[in-house]
Structure 1
Amino acid sequence: MWIKYNANPVANRVEDCAIRAVAVALDISWEYAFDLIAKNAKEMGNVMHSNAVFGSVLRQHGFKRFIVPNSCPDCYSLIDFCMDNPEGVYVVGLDSHVVAVIDGNYIDTWDSGNEIPIYYWKEIENGI
């Protein structure tokens, strides 16, 4: 189920999906998520929305990355992922978007439920 939510302090809806997803998944403010990702981006010499950069923040906070099986790449949606994962905290990578999923609900500024998941980060240990 989609839960409409925008952690961005000025309600921007573009270019900060990694920050919003990390903030929701770690249960922290958008500003703190921004700072964590910016610190790693600077240290890594990369941009904040890079999978490697925001992924490093998730890894540091107890998440592990997995690939979505390629059994039906055009028919398995984020909604399907949520139904298959009714418990837990995830950050799911879509084609050009990232979204937090908590206990089977995807939390986003727009209804991204029909998008196709490619990979996901799953909280293995409670990190913060």
Structure 2
Amino acid sequence: MVKRCTSMSVFEYSNPHPKGLLTTDCVVRAIALAFDKDYLEVRRELNQSKKELGFGSYKETKFIYKYLERFDRIVLKVPKGVPRVKVDDFVELFKEGTYIVKLSKHIACIKDGKLLDTWDSSYRSVYTAWKIK
């Protein structure tokens, strides 16, 4: 059982979009932040990969799993009736390193205990995660 984190927020605002726009680009944003890459370069790479792998969009869950399959995947199994691990609790379990976390209808980057994103999704459940570094 994971004890609920009640200390400081794990969220840290980070927007790698070159114009600082707030868009629905969580896949590009998370990957750019996790790999310390240019936002536009990541978007080009994702568009190329989706074509090569036969997907219609790089936002598809199956594409994300395929794209990240070369990294160690962390599956957080939870017994029936027990709440899933939330982002703020995940950070307590994995304090160091870089992770991409798959949430419900969202994906984000966590680096050394900080959720890097344009909005605070630390209350959301983590379905799976990939250790990047």
Q: Report the Cα distance in structure 1 between the residues aligned to 2:67 and 2:86, rounded to whole angstroms.
A: 25
Percent of pairs identical after alignment? 26
Question: What is the rounded CA distance, in whole Å, between the counterparts of 2:22 and 2:102 in structure 1?
Answer: 17
Give unpaired runs (5+ residues) of structure 2.
1-9
The answer for unaligned runs of 5 or more in structure 1 is none
Shift of 1:76: 2.3
How do 1:29-108 and structure 2 match up within 5 A? 29-46=38-55, 47-59=57-69, 63-71=71-79, 74=83, 76-108=85-117
Per the normalisation by structure 1, the TM-score is: 0.84
Q: CA deviation at 1:73?
A: 5.4
Q: Which residue of 1 aligns with 2:32?
A: 23
- Alignment correspondent of 1:5: 14
Q: Do the aligned partners of 2:84 and 2:126 also contact (CA within 8 Å) in 1?
A: no
Q: TM-score, normalised by structure 2?
A: 0.81
Larger Rg: 1 or 2?
2
Counting matched residue pairs gives 122
State whether structure 2 residue 108 is matched by structure 1 residue 115.
no
The alpha-carbon deviation at position 67 of structure 1 amounts to: 1.5
The Cα shift of 1:94 comes to: 0.3
Structure 1 letter corresponding to 2:34: A
